[in-house]
Amino acid sequence: MDTLTTDLCIIGAGSGGLSLAAGAVQMGARVVLIEGGKMGGDCLNYGCVPSKALLAAAKAAEAMRKGAPGVAGVEPQIDFAAVKAQVASVIEGIAPVDSQERFEGLGVHVIRAFARFTSPREVEAGGKIIRARRFVIATGSHPMIPDTPGLSEVPYLTNETIFAQTTRPEHLMILGAGPIAMEMAQAHRRLGCRVTVIARSRVMGRDDPEAVAVVVAALRAEGVEILEGHDATRFRVVPEGVEAVLANGETLTASHLLVAAGRQTVTAGLNLEAAGVAYTARGITVGPNLRSSNRRVYAMGDVAGGLQFTHVAGAHAGVLIRKILLALPAKAATVVPWVTYTDPELAQIGLTEAEARKAHPEVTVLRQDFQHNDRALTEARPAGFLKLMLVKGRPIGVTIAGPEAGELIGLWALALSARLKVSTIAGMIAPYPTRGEISKRAAGAYFSPKLFDNPRLKRLVHLVQRWLP
């Protein structure tokens, strides 16, 4: 068996692994990249890219359906197979950027096989032994399938298979109520499917309840049936498709079932025990610098056990370039934004209101509603709000529910990461009329009591006005 000696061996060619490989090889490191599945990983093939392409088609359909004041809506003619063909086309358009050919052209040695550790500093893959100075595990995550009785015996979809479904489901039942479930529920409802969501507990339980309520109200208004506080206890095949029995004894029947009940990190098959790498069900145990219990082995992205987002994996790539290639101190960021791309969107950075009140009893919570935002009013879309959590004049968390929330959260991501004072946001000039003005208004509201409800300031102004020539 041939042995390859390299500076860096990356296991997993998803977004994080690819970013690290491209950066490392262009900075002069010898890089081996191992991938047993598709180049581009979950984000390109089963996640961010296809889901947003599907949501775009669904949004266009809903815009035709709703029309606008003075503009009559019409029922769209939906070719479901053509929509899925467009989704596939988007993936194909981006795929060359993540392809084996591109990375080999950069100088990366790509091995298309599954990897397993054979010792603390060696990996076997594709009939070769790779000995590296440093290893980075970037294997990501895959859909978690609950052990609900009967589930393994019925046909079900996951995010890894639903985008290849070219026949429109008559009735899509979704098990789970996280961001993936909500996005797919709305997309399929807008594309003409009946949709029922089974939520064991609260919808999008990690997010601010008031913000989630804005999203849930919108989905229900469009006809998505959301059953909160219900758990499926058994599944079975029936002539109509799939039947779910709920804990209260009620039965639900649908033509198709989508399982979106969470994610599970991919560590199986890596033989981490041979490498001396500690891990749990949440993923590989790493420190702030992403190093595992084996000083030669690091983990990044989903498998590192933290927030499971493509942009987190990308940020980890930057940390590891500084740490591994340049021997500089580097730590993974702890303040990370996330967005659920329903319509309206829900965006979050830092602490939610509940988390902030628990951690900081002195927290100030400010809220601005889009119903007071002129751009939202001109578009007749006033639902939603921005909620700002402050401690001693510094933002520690922001929640936004409303159209384009994902675009608006970027300003606050900068504010929290740079530890800006809220006065910086209040002092900026925002173009009018934009939804972005809501950030300035929220920040300015922190100073309103000091300016307008301050008797001493009013006396000072009175004196100045008396004595000014």
Q: Looking at domain 151-261, what is its CATH homologous superfamily?
A: FAD/NAD(P)-binding domain (3.50.50.60)
Out of 2.40.50.100, 3.30.390.30, 3.30.70.260, 3.40.50.300, select the CATH number for domain 344-452.
Answer: 3.30.390.30
The three-point CA angle 296-141-291 to 5° equals 20
Please report which helix (H) or strand (E) contains residue 226, including its range: strand 225-228
pLDDT tens-digit readout, 366-387: 999 999 999 999 999 999 999 9
| pLDDT at residue 468 greater than cutoff 90 | no
Exposed e or buried b for every residue in 413-444, given b needs 16+ CB within 10 A? bebbeeebbbeebbeeeeeeebbbbbbbbbbb
Place of tokens 């996005």: 183
> What share of the chain in percent tops pLDDT 70?
99
Amino acid identity, position 231: D
Tell me the average pLDDT across 219-243.
96
pLDDT in tens, 351-364: 999 999 999 999 99
Q: Is the pLDDT of residue 456 over 90?
A: no
Question: Is the predicted pLDDT of residue 452 greater than 70, yes or no?
Answer: no
Bridge partners for 34 per DSSP: 11, 111
Output the pLDDT for position 449.
73
pLDDT at 20: 98
Share of the chain above pLDDT 90, in %: 94
Mean pLDDT of 218-232: 96
Lowest mean pLDDT: which of 152-166, 220-234, 438-452?
A: 438-452
pLDDT band at 301 (very low <50, low <70, confident <90, very high): very high
Q: What is the pLDDT of residues 15-74, one digit of tens each?
A: 999 999 999 999 999 999 999 999 999 999 999 999 999 999 999 999 999 999 899 999
Answer yes or no: is pLDDT of 197 > 90.
Answer: yes
CATH topology of domain 2-142+264-325: FAD/NAD(P)-binding domain (3.50.50)
Q: What residue type is assigned to position 77 of the chain?
A: Q
The residue extents of the domains of the chain are: 2-142+264-325, 151-261, 344-452
- Relative orientation angle of helices 437-445 and 405-417, to the nearest 10 degrees: 50
CB of 340 closer than 8 Å to CB of 207: yes
Q: CA gyration radius for the chain?
A: 25
